[in-house]
Amino acid sequence: MIFPATTAFFAGLLGLLFVGLSVWVVAGRVSDDVLFGSGDNPLQKRIRSHGNFSEFVPFALLLIAFLEAGGTKHWIVQALLVVLLIGRILHPFGMFAPKNSPQQFACRGGGIISTLLVLLISAVLLLV
């Protein structure tokens, strides 16, 4: 079995993004004096951006790591990781975009769709 070095590298990048989202939520809690719960709508968006990330990224990385360890072509592993990273960066920007705006569709919608596609493609490739 090979070590999933590419996945590990992107896991590091996504880990940094996760820490950034965590700090963003903590800063919002401190500035809004909200120690428990969400308090207000903008903070709820931060919390859900963070929660969405923590719900989807670990599983996507696990699937991709299995692909890489199983010998899937390197360019496929890289493509899945790049799409996942871009989608996860876009998603929080879409959470704060005006409702039904092009930015909301492109960022939030694009983040959701790209993440789901990465999960779907990875799962299918593992089953084939």
Residue 98: Cβ within 10 Å count:
8
Give residue 54's pLDDT: 92
Its pTM stands at 0.80
| Predicted local distance difference test score (pLDDT) of residue 30 | 80
pLDDT at residue 31 in the model: 87
Mean pLDDT by 10 residues, the chain (128 residues): 83 89 85 67 83 92 93 97 97 87 91 94 92
Q: What is the per-residue pLDDT across 74-96, written as a single tens digit (0 to 9) for each? A: 999 999 999 999 999 999 998 88
Among 90, 83, 80, which Cα is nearest to 122's? 80
Asked if 47 and 38 count as a contact pair (C-beta separation under 8 A), the reply is yes
Q: What is the pLDDT of residue 32?
A: 82
Domains of the chain (ranges, CATH numbers) = 5-127 (1.20.120.550)
7 burial level (CB within 10 Å; 0-12, 13-18, 19+):
buried
